[in-house]
Structure 1
């Protein structure tokens, strides 16, 4: 009988360790832009679709508002985003990019390619990895 509690037999550990390695790799490139990895993720969402509510950002990034609000406050202090109460519903805080936040897109554009090259994965392996991790993230839906 196999020992189910052996580290080598777990799926959680390689996922955890790989996530940390990939985040550290991104951070090597993000430091030049004075961004943290979570800030980069917020910018990715806003570059794709400007003007998001905090709840919309949280849904897309799988973060609760308690985690996201301090992050957005720091980004606002760096003049990357603007936070504003909705004119329709004052309970809703809307997030938009500033000029500076928009300008970072061009500087950040090479990062995914650089990360991919450093990982040493083929295009097919990269796509497979993405598909499997997305499946894991959405297993409850």
Structure 2
């Protein structure tokens, strides 16, 4: 039997996992300045693009289920960054909106992507290429997951 394929260096999952951890670690000190976590930053990115959005849409954009998202949003609500209200159109649906504090944070956080790029040591072109490749991979994997469900 050939166990070559089981070597760690042959796995795509490991560099993805380790890179994700490293990038999140680079974000941590930047986000600490704003007293937010990386998952909270992701939620804010969605809300800064589209305020007053259903919880379900946030989950779809971030690939998170409501069981994961709800405690995160509750914490963000208690820190004054957003509100969660029942939809006027569908009482079963929650709509998430930024507060004034959440909106003001966007102006302060605009420096984060540039600072992360500096911290990474990568060129903007390299980051754009990596992002394109990872987006392609994510689309393929999500389609596989949907088809197998």
Please state which band the TM-score falls in when normalised by the shorter chain. over 0.9
The equivalent of 1:63 in structure 2 is 64
> 1:46 and 1:63 mapped to 2: Cα distance?
15
The equivalent of 1:76 in structure 2 is 77
Is residue 2:107 matched to residue 1:95?
no
The equivalent of 2:32 in structure 1 is 31
Moved more, 113-122 or 56-65: 113-122
- Structure 2: tracts of 5 or more residues without a match: 144-149
Aligned residues between the structures: 141
Cα deviation, 1:6-57, whole Å, max 9, x if unaligned, reads 1111111011000000011111100010000000000001001111111000
The equivalent of 2:51 in structure 1 is 50
> 2:82 and 2:137 mapped to 1: Cα distance?
31
Cα deviation, 1:39-77, whole Å, max 9, x if unaligned, reads 000000100111111100000011000000110000000
Cα deviation, 1:76-111, whole Å, max 9, x if unaligned, reads 000100100011111000000000000000111101
Any idea what SS the aligned residue of 1:4 has? helix
> 1:15 and 1:117 mapped to 2: Cα distance?
21
The equivalent of 1:137 in structure 2 is 138
Shift of 1:2: 6.7
Any idea what SS the aligned residue of 1:57 has? helix
TM-score by length of 1: 0.97
TM-score by length of 2: 0.92
Is residue 2:86 matched to residue 1:85?
yes
- Structure 1: tracts of 5 or more residues without a match: none
